Structure 1
């Protein structure tokens, strides 16, 4: 039953919502039960709530922040699946146009789903009570060996030990499962406070572990949709004197991504920088052609209308000591394995999307991709132009073989990010990728909507 409330005095409607910072994004969280059963009716509600129902680039009539990272919606509800606790649908609300794109997932918004579900009573901390008993038994056992030491107040000690609750989330956009591990306070709600830091956000919070389970083929059914680990894409673009052929990896893990070797981009890109209109047009041309080769669009016009999928990023070898801001202590101590400049909705993205970290971690972990070639300790530059080879060669990259715990350190504009990658030893597949986030509830109440 939809919970769209009529506001008689204002002649408008409203819907119950929560606004959250989720990783390095900010967006609106809605209950699935509060929306119409027909998903085709969601668009006008989301456009109105975010301020895009009139195509306003500033989203003045809504709560959107006029950027791609602050114009997002998560729809959350209890799952009927045996392998999931929660169903989650992501929507990217366009800025300056009346479009809602639900073709892909957002990893940053996914990191807020667990905390939202816990605080809204969609899941409870009961499964974690086993941990409480284990802590209590351990404390009592240790106290027996210290007879002269005052027996600890077990309940008081336990209140200082945050529980960790695993919440299984089914993403309806991609048909994949995400496990979110969140800290739970003594009252059973999400414990926001903590000292964990992530790049791209100045504050701190409790660590949220977001694990993307078997993320390969989320939308295309294949980890490498083209059947190869490397492709060459040729495009023409305004402001670029002649056709350009770039080396790319087309990969689908949590979201479809196109990774471009920066050294194959024309000089005009490097001279003007990624933010220039000429560079942005070139990147968009590559993205549209890549969408066709990934089987996500039949032609460039169709690819142009679905701007959120596939996503695209430019890769380069790591620069030593180039990033420190906002990252965890572990990330600061690590030198980047790969450098990335990400793009979203036609603009440079301030930090790599979380699903981008999943894709990039996966690409770095499998041999003969653009990412593994360019990564630290990857193959020498003179070997990087080899024939790509087929995607079914079951090899783990040299980089992944040398990593302790399978961690990839990603250098980005806002700092560094660690992705824990688990590569299957039996073929070019990814068992899981885990990335740490934080989240915070900002607002709860009624969001006003345009009159029906």
Structure 2
């Protein structure tokens, strides 16, 4: 008989995303067993994730797994998992910068990192990419506070600020800032920039695909012909970036750019990759900001010349996201920092189907 097991977890909002946070020690080391638990916990395989705690949307079907560091200079490890809503698939190829915002607070609250007196700096090793990110978390009195005056577009109300600094983000998955060897590639007659900084991206002008770049996500998601063409471009971009077949991966992420409407550098529509983000992924913002500092890219053509240190505003469907470009890193790419917020929503245990029960039933 199939049994249920309970696993401690904490549901947290990180930036404009939400999902359960697990300590690595509470999950099996075997990848297949771990993924089976995550699928059961989130209720994947149903568009509403009705039999789990997922929210029925890519932004609320995310998981963070946090544990002791395995990389020198880090305080904690963070493995991100994108759990597909409709298909029973777990993808650990990308990082998620929004969920990343809650890793520092979670690590401090659970005792993985000792809090300082006022602000605690947590150096996070993102296992997905091997990169380090610094998170500055407010901890007056040695405890994380979540209430504050910081505001980010896409989240109601205000909260305590969390500053994230992406250190040496270039080559997060491919080892190269420009994996194809060019700042611009021509795919099916369309100019694209394939860049890998925190997240592999395929950047394209919206007008080249018959769009203004100012559409609401719902309108873009309903245009099946457009989505199919975007996917065709993405598949070829992925191949050129060194991924043999990205059909079942969420990287590279396509991004449409258009002129700004409200004083920013440009307007962006970021895809995840088969639906448009309601705001903008943090890793996507890091990649776009980095592209702005490199001559000849599609993004640079919109933003004009950008030299660090500088601030950049990227407009998205729910407002804008401010990024800060600091001194250049090892590959002449900037260190990019962003302001995020997070909130602890509830903690307890999630009940999941025991993945070992199937094996036992087959043996018996």
2:177 equivalent to 1:233? no
Contact kept in structure 1, 2:8 and 2:349, CA below 8 Å: yes
Shift in CA distance, 119/173, structure 1 to aligned 2, threshold 3 Å: same
| Corresponding residue for residue 274 of structure 1 | 220
Shift in CA distance, 44/310, structure 1 to aligned 2, threshold 3 Å: same
| Corresponding residue for residue 311 of structure 2 | 407
| Distance in structure 2 (CA, Å) of the matches to 1:268 and 1:79 | 44
- Using the TM superposition, give the Cα deviation of residue 345 of structure 1 relative to its aligned residue in structure 2, in angstroms: 3.9
What RMSD in Å do the two structures reach over aligned CA positions? 2.1
- Using the TM superposition, give the Cα deviation of residue 17 of structure 1 relative to its aligned residue in structure 2, in angstroms: 0.3
Q: TM-score scaled by structure 2?
A: 0.92
Structure 1, unaligned runs of 5 or more: 1-7, 130-162, 235-244, 322-334, 379-397
| Corresponding residue for residue 77 of structure 1 | 67
Shift in CA distance, 79/268, structure 1 to aligned 2, threshold 3 Å: closer
- Using the TM superposition, give the Cα deviation of residue 267 of structure 1 relative to its aligned residue in structure 2, in angstroms: 6.5
2:314 equivalent to 1:360? no
| Distance in structure 1 (CA, Å) of the matches to 2:3 and 2:240 | 49
Contact kept in structure 2, 1:106 and 1:353, CA below 8 Å: yes
Q: How many residues align?
A: 352
- Using the TM superposition, give the Cα deviation of residue 11 of structure 1 relative to its aligned residue in structure 2, in angstroms: 4.1
- Using the TM superposition, give the Cα deviation of residue 29 of structure 1 relative to its aligned residue in structure 2, in angstroms: 0.3
Contact kept in structure 2, 1:211 and 1:432, CA below 8 Å: yes
Contact kept in structure 2, 1:365 and 1:421, CA below 8 Å: no
Flag the structure with more relative contact order, 1 or 2, with Cα contacts below 8 A and sequence separation at least 6: 2
Contact kept in structure 2, 1:408 and 1:420, CA below 8 Å: yes
Contact kept in structure 2, 1:58 and 1:65, CA below 8 Å: yes
Q: TM-score scaled by structure 1?
A: 0.75
- 1:312 pairs with one of 250, 254, 277: 254
2:134 equivalent to 1:184? no
| Corresponding residue for residue 395 of structure 1 | none
| Corresponding residue for residue 284 of structure 1 | 231
Moved over 3 A (4+): 266-273
- 1:221 pairs with one of 137, 159, 175: 175
- Using the TM superposition, give the Cα deviation of residue 270 of structure 1 relative to its aligned residue in structure 2, in angstroms: 9.3
Contact kept in structure 2, 1:19 and 1:27, CA below 8 Å: yes
| Distance in structure 2 (CA, Å) of the matches to 1:88 and 1:183 | 20
Contact kept in structure 2, 1:199 and 1:416, CA below 8 Å: yes
Secondary structure in 2 aligned to 1:103?
coil
| Corresponding residue for residue 325 of structure 2 | 421
Please say which structure displays the higher CA radius of gyration: 1
C-alpha offsets along residues 124-171 of structure 1, whole Å, 9 cap, x if unaligned?
A: 11xx34xxxxxxxxxxxxxxxxxxxxxxxxxxxxxxxxx111100000
- 2:160 pairs with one of 191, 206, 223: 206
Contact kept in structure 2, 1:27 and 1:72, CA below 8 Å: yes
- Using the TM superposition, give the Cα deviation of residue 80 of structure 1 relative to its aligned residue in structure 2, in angstroms: 3.9
| Corresponding residue for residue 338 of structure 1 | 266
Q: How does 1:112-131 map to 2 (within 5 A)?
A: 112-125=102-115, 128-129=116-117
2:100 equivalent to 1:110? yes
- Using the TM superposition, give the Cα deviation of residue 431 of structure 1 relative to its aligned residue in structure 2, in angstroms: 3.9
- 2:342 pairs with one of 432, 435, 439: 439
